[in-house]
Chains A and B, each alone.
Chain A
Amino acid sequence: GNSVTQMEGPVTLSEEAFLTINCTYTATGYPSLFWYVQYPGEGLQLLLKATKADDKGSNKGFEATYRKETTSFHLEKGSVQVSDSAVYFCALSDPGANSKLTFGKGITLSVRP
Chain B
Amino acid sequence: EAGVAQSPRYKIIEKRQSVAFWCNPISGHATLYWYQQILGQGPKLLIQFQNNGVVDDSQLPKDRFSAERLKGVDSTLKIQPAKLEDSAVYLCASSSPGTTGTDTQYFGPGTRLTVL
Instruction: Please report A residues at the B interface, Cβ cutoff 8 Å.
Output: 4, 32, 34, 36, 42-46, 49, 51, 89, 91, 93, 95, 97-101, 103-106
Number of A-B contacts (CB under 8 A): 59
Given known A51-B102, A93-B102, A98-B55, contact A45–B107 (CB-CB < 8 A):
yes
Q: Is B87 an interface residue, CB under 8 A from the partner?
A: no
Instruction: List A contacts of B25 (CB < 8 A).
Output: none
Can you list 18 pairs linking A and B with CB atoms under 8 Å apart?
Answer: A43-B107, A44-B43, A44-B91, A44-B93, A45-B107, A46-B105, A89-B43, A93-B103, A95-B101, A97-B56, A98-B48, A98-B56, A100-B56, A101-B43, A101-B45, A105-B41, A106-B40, A106-B41
Those 8 A-B pairs whose CB atoms lie nearest each other, nearest first: A103-B42, A44-B107, A43-B109, A32-B102, A99-B103, A43-B107, A100-B45, A51-B100
Contact between B91 and A43, CB atoms less than 8 A apart: yes
| Shortest Cβ distance from B56 into A: residue | A98
Instruction: List B contacts of A99 (CB < 8 A).
Output: 31, 95, 102-103
B55 to chain A, nearest CB (A): 5
User: Which listed residue, B45, B55, B103, B110, touches A43 by the CB 8 Å rule?
Assistant: B110
Measured in the bound complex, the distance between the Cα atoms of B110 and A95 in whole Å is 25
Instruction: List A contacts of B45 (CB < 8 A).
Output: 100-101
